[in-house]
Amino acid sequence: FGRIVRVHHYLAVCEVHEREMMNARRN
């Protein structure tokens, strides 16, 4: 169970990072 949560957290962090990269590229 803990491993699934860790993977989900990792994917969420990647999604947020990708969103920040898109915002930085737009500006």
DSSP string, 6-17: HHHHHHHHHHHH
The whole-angstrom separation of Cα 18 and Cα 16 is 5
How many domains does one find in the chain?
A: 1
Q: What confidence tens digit (pLDDT) does each residue in 1-27 have?
A: 678 889 999 999 999 999 999 999 887
pLDDT value of residue 11: 94
**Mapping DSSP to helix (H, G, I), strand (E, B) and coil, where does residue 27 land?**
coil
Residue 25 corresponds to which tokens in the numbers above?
A: 């590229």
pLDDT value of residue 12: 95
pLDDT value of residue 1: 63
- pTM over cut 0.95: no
pLDDT value of residue 17: 95
Structural domain containing residue 8: 1-27
pLDDT value of residue 26: 82
